[in-house]
Amino acid sequence: MVTDRFISVPPGLGEDSPFVCMGDGALSLWERSSTARVMPSARPRKLAKVPFVELADGRLQGVVSSGSDARRVYVSSVEAGSYAFTCSTNNNRPCGGGRGWFCNHIRALIGEAVLQYGLERVTRYLKVEDPADAPDVHSLTSAMAGTRPAQGDRSTAAQVFSRFLRHLAYLELDPSTAPVPEMQWFPTTRAVA
């Protein structure tokens, strides 16, 4: 069974990949770990073209900068499983670029998602049946486009855009020097996905 989980194992348990099968002993240790790493942190990438991308609500979705107008952005998404796709401006005008196919915005979105989360995680999240079909981002895009996916429900654009604004709002929040003991549960790690 292909899962869309992203779960890694704490050090010392003999495994560092989320995809290897653990023995019962290692699994039970992982289950009884307080600081088990469940989600790897995002990988650094350039944000100019695609300032926001996420795997959420059962979709790969995000915001893509317009090539021509600095004030305009496109909200694009691809649904997991069906690959139903949408692309429109933040004012909900449809993107003219795709003509029923994945437009350049969607292609850029997929490319940046792979940079941020890694190919494996994106492939799993989108429920690409046979990951062997998608050894790189180009073939991942082709594999999905090749199923002739339908246009998705454009009404989700407003929701994605508001999630982008919420994301940006994190920049406006003040740092604090009061201790946050809860962060003890979120150790940093050099391990990469």
Q: Which of residues 127-156 bind another protein (CB under 8 A)?
A: none
Which of the stretches 92-100, 101-109, 139-147, 163-171 binds another protein when contact is defined by CB under 8 A?
Answer: 163-171
Binder among 23, 33, 132, 146 for another protein (CB under 8 A): 33
Q: Does 25 bind another protein (CB under 8 A)?
A: no
Q: Nearer to another protein by C-beta: 5 or 93?
A: 5
Q: Does 39 bind another protein (CB under 8 A)?
A: yes
Classify burial at 40, counting beta carbons within 10 Å of its beta carbon; exposed 0-12, middle 13-18, buried 19 or more. middle
Q: Nearer to another protein by C-beta: 45 or 154?
A: 45
Distance CA 84, CA 150 (A): 5
Assigned token pair, 181: 């003991």
Q: Nearer to another protein by C-beta: 68 or 188?
A: 188
Q: Does 48 bind another protein (CB under 8 A)?
A: yes
Classify burial at 120, counting beta carbons within 10 Å of its beta carbon; exposed 0-12, middle 13-18, buried 19 or more. middle
CA distances from 111 to 118, 124, 126, 184, 185 (A): 10, 15, 13, 33, 31
Strand order across the 85-89 sheet = 52-56, 59-65, 73-79, 85-89
Assigned token pair, 121: 């995680």
Binder among 133, 147, 175, 193 for another protein (CB under 8 A): 175
Owner of token pair 């982008």: 164
Which of the stretches 32-40, 98-106, 135-143, 144-152 binds another protein when contact is defined by CB under 8 A?
Answer: 32-40
Q: Does 182 bind another protein (CB under 8 A)?
A: yes
Contacts with another protein in 78-107 (CB under 8 A)?
Answer: 90
